[in-house]
Structures are given as C-alpha cells and as structure tokens.
Amino acid sequence: MASNDVSALTDFHGPMRLFPLPNVVLYPFVTQALHVFEPRYRQLTADALAGDRLLGLGLLRPGWEEDYEGRPALYPMACLGKIISEEQLEDGRYNIQLRGLSRARILQEVDSGKLYRCARVELLPDSGLPGPQTNQSLRRQLLEALPLWCRGHQDVLNLLRQVLKSNMPLGVVSDIISFALPLAIEFKQELLAESEVESRARALAHFLAENQPPGPAGLSQKFPPDFSSN
C-alpha cells in the first residue's frame, strides 16, 4: 500500500460517507471507475474532494428498488476507498476513480445533515494468514481454476497468473481475482465480508472449482471494469 494510503487510513476517524450501489463490490487494492450524477452523490463527491477524498462503497440488499430514493438496506460490510483521480463535467456530474483501502464494517448510521448517508465504521485489516504450505496450495488451486473462468480473455488470464505468482499477499491476490471474475454479486459480497485470508481464499478456490462461469464466453466483464453509474 502506498504511503499516502497508509496515512489516509491512520488519519481516518469517521464517520464514513456512504455510496451505496446495487451492482458493485469494491475490494482493497483494486480501482473502480464511477460516474456520479445523482445530486446526493455529487454532494458526497464534492465533500470528499474538499476533505480527505475518502468514501465507502457499499452493496444494497435485494429489494432496494422499493426505497432507492430513501435509505434502502445495505450489507454491513463495505469498502473504504480513496478518490485517486476525478473529472468534474460542466453540468456538475463527476467521473472518478476510487481505489479500495480497507474493509469497513458498518456499525451505525449517523445523521450527517447532508443529502447522502454516513456511518460509524470499524476498519478491518486482513487476519487469519495461512502458513507457507497452505498459501502455496491455495495459490495452485486458484491457478488451476483460472483458464476456465478467463476463457477467451488471454490477456486477463496472463495478468491474473502474474498476480498469483507474485509476492503479493494472498489476501490481496484473492481480492483482485474476486474483483476481476464474473462472480455472482452476492458471492462477491460474501468474500468482502470475510476478513480472514485463509477462509476467503479457500472459499474462492472452492467456488471456482465447483462452478461454471456464466455464459459461453467465460469472463464477461472488462478488466479493469468500465465506469459504473450511481
């Protein structure tokens, strides 16, 4: 993690600005492009840019459509991220790049006096690191599963192979793979909710081995993904 990101986490005391979305799960160390157009999230973005540049991306629970303009329910685990680049358009909309920094468990929402929601959160670092043999075994299992899930996308397969063979911690590797592959959004959220590295990597490896990718083309999303609109 870059030194300025470490500083951002050290200096973070909350509350966390909440940016709920129905179709995006962010992980630490990956970057998501966002197109921000709703007034409440334009206000959130402006406040973040004027301050610490931090906000939390959270996934809306099923049924969110009934109360989207209000306060639809969120899953309790979100990801604190930092805006690393931004473009403000003439009409006030934003294009931003958000880099994940840390898992963040939502403890309680607080009244911010703003159009957007805020919450007290607990930042959760990775725990439950596997021993060397288990680490290598899990990396091998993930390597073996990648060709099927990246079928037709040799460039992504090569990139993820490099990630797995690198010195990156297994927790980071698992998150990058989870972000890149076309997993069900609910399962992506389950992986975000798991802060123990061995359990997370084992769950991911088991899922990839026991399931088929959606559709005949294997990997269905661009990596890195395109902009997601709020």
Mean of the per-residue pLDDT values for the chain? 91
9 or 33, higher pLDDT: 33
Peptide bond into 132 cis (omega under 30): no
**117-124 and 77-88 strand pairing:** unpaired
pLDDT of residue 2: 62
Amino acid identity, position 144: E
Would you state the structure tokens that stand for residue 171, as one six-digit string?
A: 């927790």
Spatial separation of the C-alpha atoms in residues 107 and 105, rounded to whole Å:
6
Mean pLDDT of 169-178: 97
Determine whether 169 is exposed, middle or buried from the number of CB atoms within 10 Å of its CB (0-12, 13-18, 19+): middle
Q: What percent of the chain shows pLDDT beyond 70?
A: 90
Residue 69 and residue 78: Cα distance in Å, rounded?
20
- How high is the pLDDT of residue 66? 82
Residue 123 sits at φ, ψ, to 5 deg, of -80, 135
How far, in Å, CA of 195 to CA of 148, rounded? Answer: 27
Q: Which fold has domain 3-125?
A: 2.30.130
pLDDT bin (cut points 50, 70, 90) of residue 120 is very high
pLDDT of residue 220: 43
Spatial separation of the C-alpha atoms in residues 76 and 98, rounded to whole Å: 20
Instruction: Name the β-bridge partners of 74.
Output: 60
pTM for the whole thing?
0.90
Sorted by where each begins, the domain ranges of the chain are 3-125, 132-210
Q: Is the predicted pLDDT of residue 229 greater than 50, yes or no?
A: yes
CATH classification number, 132-210, choose in 3.40.50, 1.20.58, 2.80.10, 1.20.120: 1.20.58
Residue 57, pLDDT score: 98
Which two tokens mark 106? 């939502």
pLDDT per residue as tens digits for the range 45-96: 999 999 999 999 999 999 887 877 788 999 999 999 999 999 999 999 999 9
- Three-state SS at 223: coil
C-alpha radius of gyration, the chain, whole number: 18
pLDDT tier at 217, thresholds 50, 70, 90: very low
**Type of residue numbered 67:** D
Indicate whether 116 pLDDT > 90: yes
pLDDT in tens, 126-156: 999 999 999 999 999 999 999 999 988 999 9
